[in-house]
Amino acid sequence: MRIARFSIDGNVAFGAVEGESPPGSTDGLVLDIIKGIPFADFELSGTKVPLSKVRLLPPVLPNKVVAFGRNYADHAKEMGGEVPDAPFAFFKPSTSVIGSGDEIAYPSFTEELHHEAELAVVIGRMCREVPRERVKDVILGYTCANDVTARDVQRREKQWARAKGFDSSCPLGPWVETDLDPSDLTIQCTVNGQQRQLGRTSEMIHSIEDLIVNITEAMTLLPGDVILTGTPAGVGPLSAGDEVAVTIEGIGTLTNKVVKRG
């Protein structure tokens, strides 16, 4: 099931996305509005609205976004870093999250903004110290993410809070796919229609199970929290006016335009 969060006539709701459409289009897609929330038992209302008539919102509002760095060997190599022996985590605040179609605001404190296409894992239930064999039980589903990074700031500052945590630095969407095997999916990024990144989730150094076991040893995850699983090689610059799109096989396409922060 594809679960979207959306706004219509000033009201916010969740809906199940039904139908098929060409890549990058919403033609033919409809939302069956959900009674309740996707983190508990819910029913489909049977009330349907064309996706083209609503505004898609970030599919979840996470309490926290836990991101893992250098989880693809080729990306670690292109950044001049070693592959970590254990998962390497950092955080992006909830205020960094935007949805598909929202604008990425180019911060005034950087001159080197980069895209990073990633598979995002959405947590479905409160969990702590999750054993490997129970990881699938705590996952609601998967979505596309862009770990937008101020690369010059990342190099200059020891902490990555500003480089990766600024407002609009975490696009998520367009929806959460709940019925998906994430082990070997194509992940790609285009800028203005030109391919920049192309990889497969099977190239991850540390698996989704590794990442969730690692982080829940330290902290509780809440429903709606998001895990970013790392980016393949090919990260590169973004400029004001660019349209950046992250597409993941079996999920869809997350598209955002870059604008100067006003």
Average confidence (pLDDT) over 161-174: 98
Can you give the CATH number for the domain in which 21 is found?
A: 2.30.30.370
pLDDT value at 74 more than 90? no
pLDDT tens for each residue of 227-241? 999 999 999 999 999
- CA torsion 200-206-211-213 (nearest 10°) is 130
Domain that holds residue 94: 65-260
Average confidence (pLDDT) over 239-248: 98
Domain count, the chain: 2
Angle at 189 between CA 175 and CA 173, to 5 degrees: 10
Q: End of a domain among 35, 55, 75?
A: 55
- Whether 60 is covered by a domain: the verdict is no
Average confidence (pLDDT) over 117-126: 98
Instruction: Based on the fold, state whether residues 123 and 197 are members of the same structural domain.
Output: yes
In sequence order, which residues have a C-beta less than 8 Å from that of residue 91 and are 6 or more positions away?
Answer: 64, 65, 66, 67, 161, 165
Instruction: Based on the fold, state whether residues 14 and 142 are members of the same structural domain.
Output: no
Instruction: Based on the fold, state whether residues 28 and 155 are members of the same structural domain.
Output: no
Can you give the CATH number for the domain in which 78 is found?
A: 3.90.850.10
Percent of the chain with pLDDT over 90: 90
Q: End of a domain among 19, 36, 55?
A: 55
Full-model pTM: 0.96
Quote the pLDDT of residue 156.
Answer: 95
Is residue 6 classed as helix, strand or coil in its secondary structure?
strand
pLDDT tens for each residue of 189-202? 999 999 999 999 99
pLDDT tens for each residue of 8-20? 998 999 999 999 8
Instruction: Based on the fold, state whether residues 37 and 152 are members of the same structural domain.
Output: no
- Whether 20 is covered by a domain: the verdict is yes
Quote the pLDDT of residue 262.
Answer: 74
pLDDT value at 83 more than 80? no
Spatial distance between the Cα atoms of 176 and 17, rounded to a whole number of angstroms: 10
Quote the pLDDT of residue 114.
Answer: 98
Q: How confident is the model at residue 75 (pLDDT cuts 50, 70, 90)?
A: confident
Spatial distance between the Cα atoms of 16 and 191, rounded to a whole number of angstroms: 29
Quote the pLDDT of residue 206.
Answer: 96
Quote the pLDDT of residue 24.
Answer: 65
- Whether 217 is covered by a domain: the verdict is yes
Q: What is the DSSP letter of 127?
A: B
Q: End of a domain among 55, 74, 95?
A: 55
Quote the pLDDT of residue 85.
Answer: 86
Spatial distance between the Cα atoms of 125 and 189, rounded to a whole number of angstroms: 30
Q: What's the mean pLDDT when you consider all of the chain?
A: 95
Average confidence (pLDDT) over 67-95: 87
Spatial distance between the Cα atoms of 68 and 160, rounded to a whole number of angstroms: 12
- Whether 151 is covered by a domain: the verdict is yes
Percent of the chain with pLDDT over 70: 98
**Cis amide prior to 182 (ω within 30 degrees):** no
Instruction: Based on the fold, state whether residues 40 and 74 are members of the same structural domain.
Output: no
Instruction: Based on the fold, state whether residues 46 and 146 are members of the same structural domain.
Output: no
Instruction: Based on the fold, state whether residues 133 and 28 are members of the same structural domain.
Output: no
Q: Where is 252: in which H helix or E strand? A: strand 252-260
Instruction: Based on the fold, state whether residues 108 and 180 are members of the same structural domain.
Output: yes
Quote the pLDDT of residue 81.
Answer: 72
Spatial distance between the Cα atoms of 109 and 146, rounded to a whole number of angstroms: 19
Residue labelled with tokens 């937008």: 148
